[in-house]
Copies of this chain bind each other. A is one copy, B any other.
Amino acid sequence: MTSESDDRERRQGLVVVNTGNGKGKTTAALGVLLRAWGRDMKVVMLQFIKHSTANFGEHRAARKMRVDIIPMGKGFTWLSKNIQDDKALAQKCWKLCQEKLSSGEYDIVILDEITYAMNYNWIPVAEVLEALRSRPKGTHVILTGRNAPPELIEFADLVTEMVEVKHPYKRGIKAQRGLEF
């Protein structure tokens, strides 16, 4: 039996964007990670916002699966007093993403919540598009986050908008462990 990863040479990797104000952008990317792992494909998820010490459901799962889910951010305190620090951290994260994207070692590279880094002008959109364009052709890439830049949507193969229809926060119910993080 040949490994699914052998397809990497032959296939045309897709660029997938999960955007919108609703739930399920990161969560659907985790679902892809699960499916790909089931097929012994090689996947990595790099997270721009979640704090580098985060230990949520997905990080616990990743350790059990021996898959890399790498939180690189500062959590909800990203927008700190020092904008230069924020920008420097985002660019450091982006450097690691570029290495993973160009390595050819992965079937799927997930850039989680990267849209915020573009929207805050920490990473130029053109640089992200260039990295996508020049990646080894078999690598699928998933990018998540609200307000995906129009140039990225234009470039992508598959774009889904997750739209909030109804949200329990509005009734004062807080986020649920396991379900949402």
Contacts and interface: CB of A to CB of B under 8 A. Distances in A.
Contacts of A22: 160-162
Contact of A27 (B17, B32, B64): B32
A144 to B, nearest CB: 10
Contact of A157 (B7, B166, B177): B166
Interface stretch (A36-44, A76-84, A87-95, A126-134): A36-44
A39 B165 contact: no
Interface in A140-181: 140, 153, 156-168, 171, 173, 176-181
A162 B162 CA distance: 5
A29 interface: yes
A70 interface: no
A162 B17 CA distance: 12
Question: Size range of the interface on A?
Answer: 35 or more
Interface in A7-27: 7, 11-12, 14, 16-20, 22-24, 26-27
Given A23-B160, A34-B57, A140 B176 contact: yes
A57 B28 contact: no
A138 B2 CA distance: 44
Contact of A158 (B11, B158, B168): B168
